[in-house]
């Protein structure tokens, strides 16, 4: 392993700090342009909600005061989400950023998703959760217009629950969940004991076809 000499490392850090502060041009502008491209590409609904001017200001503050430990696309976006924690009072803006980060996290997950089985599973014991599955609870329907989302976010109502997961053919899906769906998924995750005695064959078949669940043995 080759180590960077201390004086070289210090020099690199000084140049990076100068670029972040805008004192080292054109590198400062290039850095901001790259981060802006990552943010608008990764979080398009968030960026549209914030508006171009506000996003540029967010990126400038991020670069100046927070930065990213690594330059890769994924690391910049991760650090930007951390930087944004507690920053936005608007629940719609905050929700869209967190939701779009979940979409990306599911897309790049290294978990393998198997194809739906040929045979029919008949009990929850025969299936398991899609390994990429993440549940999100949001204060508004993700498919409505912004004005309706704002109204919903202000109302005291139960959250909308969605499953975000990747299918075996690498499609990222956002699936709205019913109370029955949530109950079954929680039972599969071991969060609740089995309390229902009714036949869940139809639900299991749908869950396998949608990709919410995969067979234990394929």
Number of Cβ within 10 Å of residue 167's Cβ equals 17
C-alpha distance from residue 64 to each of 26, 50, 81, 98, 186 (Å): 15, 19, 15, 22, 42
Please give the pLDDT value at position 126.
84
Please give the pLDDT value at position 215.
87
- The C-alpha atoms of residue 39 and residue 20 are separated, in whole angstroms, by 17
- The C-alpha atoms of residue 140 and residue 145 are separated, in whole angstroms, by 10
- The C-alpha atoms of residue 153 and residue 144 are separated, in whole angstroms, by 12
Question: Does any domain span residue 106?
Answer: no
Same domain assignment for residues 83 and 167: no
Hey, what long-range contacts does 182-187 have (CB within 8 A, 24 or more apart)? 182/135, 184/124, 185/129, 185/133, 185/135, 185/212, 187/124
Instruction: Determine the structural domain holding residue 191 and report its residue range.
Output: 112-215
Question: Does any domain span residue 123?
Answer: yes
The CATH number linked to 154 is 3.90.930
C-alpha distance from residue 185 to each of 7, 51, 148, 177, 206 (Å): 54, 37, 29, 10, 13
Same domain assignment for residues 67 and 157: no
Within the chain, residue ranges assigned H as helices are: 6-21, 27-42, 44-50, 52-65, 73-84, 91-108, 146-154, 179-188, 201-210
Question: Does any domain span residue 201?
Answer: yes
Please give the pLDDT value at position 68.
53
Question: Does any domain span residue 194?
Answer: yes
Same domain assignment for residues 56 and 135: no
Same domain assignment for residues 69 and 10: yes
Same domain assignment for residues 133 and 192: yes
Q: Tell which residue, 193, 187, 204, has the closest CA to residue 122.
A: 204
Question: Does any domain span residue 97?
Answer: no
Please give the pLDDT value at position 125.
82
Same domain assignment for residues 125 and 73: no
Local confidence pLDDT in tens for the 218 residues of the chain = 444 444 433 433 444 444 444 554 546 578 888 899 999 999 999 999 999 999 999 998 998 887 555 555 567 888 899 999 999 999 999 999 999 999 999 999 999 999 887 777 778 888 899 999 999 999 999 999 999 999 999 997 889 999 999 999 999 999 999 999 999 998 888 766 555 545 678 898 899 999 999 987 64
The pLDDT tens digits of the residues spanning 109-153 come to 999 999 887 777 778 888 899 999 999 999 999 999 999 999 999
| Mode of pairing for the β-strands spanning 172-176 and 127-129 | unpaired
Please give the pLDDT value at position 64.
83
Same domain assignment for residues 82 and 116: no
Question: Does any domain span residue 92?
Answer: no
Q: Please count the structural domains in the chain.
A: 2
Number of Cβ within 10 Å of residue 169's Cβ equals 8
Same domain assignment for residues 121 and 82: no
């Amino acid at each position: 392993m080759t180590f960077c000499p201390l004086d070289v490392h210090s020099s690199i850090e000084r140049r990076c700090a100068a670029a972040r502060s805008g004192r080292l041009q054109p590198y400062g502008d290039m850095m901001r342009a790259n981060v802006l491209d990552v943010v608008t590409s990764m979080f398009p609904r968030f960026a549209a909600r914030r508006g171009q001017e506000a996003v540029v200001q967010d990126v400038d503050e991020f670069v100046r005061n927070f930065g990213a430990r690594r330059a890769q696309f994924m690391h910049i976006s991760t650090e930007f989400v951390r930087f944004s924690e507690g920053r936005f009072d608007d629940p719609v803006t905050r929700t869209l950023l967190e939701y779009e980060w979940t979409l990306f996290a599911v897309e790049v997950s290294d978990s393998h998703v198997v194809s739906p089985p040929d045979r029919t599973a008949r009990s929850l014991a025969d299936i398991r959760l899609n390994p990429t599955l993440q549940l999100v609870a949001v204060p508004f329907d993700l498919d409505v217009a912004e004005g309706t989302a704002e109204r919903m976010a202000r109302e005291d109502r139960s959250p909308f629950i969605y499953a975000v997961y990747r299918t075996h053919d690498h499609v990222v899906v956002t699936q709205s969940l019913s109370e029955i769906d949530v109950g079954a998924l929680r039972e599969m995750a071991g969060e609740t004991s089995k309390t229902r005695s009714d036949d869940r064959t139809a639900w299991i078949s749908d869950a396998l076809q949608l990709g919410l669940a995969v067979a234990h043995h394929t």
